């Protein structure tokens, strides 16, 4: 499965969920498939998807939002692996990370990450996350559906092929426009000022 194929399924599965997306090729490919108000693209903050999703999962506790969903890469997660112990320790009910693991820094010349030798899903499990794995489209959809209904931090470890989709436009937007769009979408779904 290529990244853009995995993202095409995630687009279908997350129409009503806040989505925090890692930078560069992943954000671009997602936006080329669907550019929605519920997408928070982190354009240049490597490793921060899990932290931002954790903060949002804390903030939406008690609302009708089922999960805050982070879409992260293996290389980006390895730049801030604290995400795993912190998420396991704080254990927000509504946190779901989708890890698109191609074992390379896909936006950085395809240089190798540790993911060849280090099982990031096992790291998450050791930190207290509920972990599912997927290596094809059917297992991606089935495990996503299961984890979306599992309280507590959950990680869907998706094995994908290396390589980026061709001819995808850069996301050349002012980040504040993403903030305004995403915040309006999310706060409209929260019944009260979030804590």
Partner 1 sequence: MGTRTYAQAAAAGIWASGAKHVGYIPSVTVAPVIQALVETDGGRDGVSEHVTPLSREEEAVGVLGALPLAGSFGAVVMQDNGFGNNLTALTTFSVSYHLPLLIVANTRGSLGEYNSMIHSISQHVPPILRTLGIPVVELDRRSSVDDWHDVIAEAGTHAVMTYRPVVVLASFWNTDGKVA
Burial class (CB in 10 A: 0-12, 13-18, 19+), 119: middle
- Per CB under 8 A, the list member of 43, 125, 165, 168 interacting with partner 1 is 43
Residue 88 makes contact with Mg ion by CB under 5 A? no
Pairing of strands 68-73, 19-21: parallel
Residue 193 makes contact with partner 1 by CB under 8 A? yes
**Six-digit token pair at 153?**
């931090």
Rounded least distance, CB 49 to partner 1, Å = 8
Report d(CA 128, CA 92) in Å as an integer: 11
Residue 152 makes contact with partner 1 by CB under 8 A? no
Under rule CB under 8 A, which residues in 67-126 are in contact with partner 1? 80, 82-83, 85-86, 89-90
Q: Any idea what DSSP says for residue 115? A: G
Q: Note whether 15 and 67 are within 8 A (CB).
A: no
Report d(CA 89, CA 91) in Å as an integer: 5
Rounded least distance, CB 105 to Mg ion, Å = 6
Rounded least distance, CB 92 to partner 1, Å = 10
Q: What is the enclosing helix (H) or strand (E) of 118?
A: none
Residue 73 makes contact with Mg ion by CB under 5 A? yes
Q: State the residues that interact with Mg ion by CB under 5 A.
A: 73-75, 102, 106
Q: State the residues that interact with partner 1 by CB under 8 A.
A: 40, 42-48, 50-56, 58-60, 80, 82-83, 85-86, 89-90, 175-176, 178-179, 182-183, 186-187, 190, 193-195
């Amino acid at each position: 499965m290529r990244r853009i194929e995995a993202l095409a399924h995630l687009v279908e599965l997350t129409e009503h969920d806040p989505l925090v997306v890692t930078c560069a090729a992943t954000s671009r490919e997602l936006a080329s498939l669907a550019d929605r108000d519920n997408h928070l693209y982190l354009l240049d903050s490597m490793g921060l998807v899990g932290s931002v999703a954790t903060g949002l999962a804390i903030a939406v506790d008690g609302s009708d939002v089922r999960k805050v969903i982070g879409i992260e890469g293996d290389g980006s997660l390895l730049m801030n692996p604290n995400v795993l112990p912190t998420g396991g320790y704080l254990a927000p009910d509504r946190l779901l990370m989708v890890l698109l693991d191609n074992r390379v820094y896909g936006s950085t010349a395809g240089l190798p990450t540790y993911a060849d030798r280090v099982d990031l899903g096992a790291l998450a499990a050791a930190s207290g996350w509920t972990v599912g794995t997927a290596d094809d489209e059917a297992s991606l959809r089935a495990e996503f559906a299961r984890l979306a209904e599992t309280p507590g931090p959950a990680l869907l470890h998706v094995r994908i092929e290396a390589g980026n989709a061709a001819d995808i436009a850069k996301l050349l937007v002012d980040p504040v426009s993403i903030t305004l769009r995403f915040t309006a979408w999310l706060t409209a779904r929260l019944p009260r000022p979030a804590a």
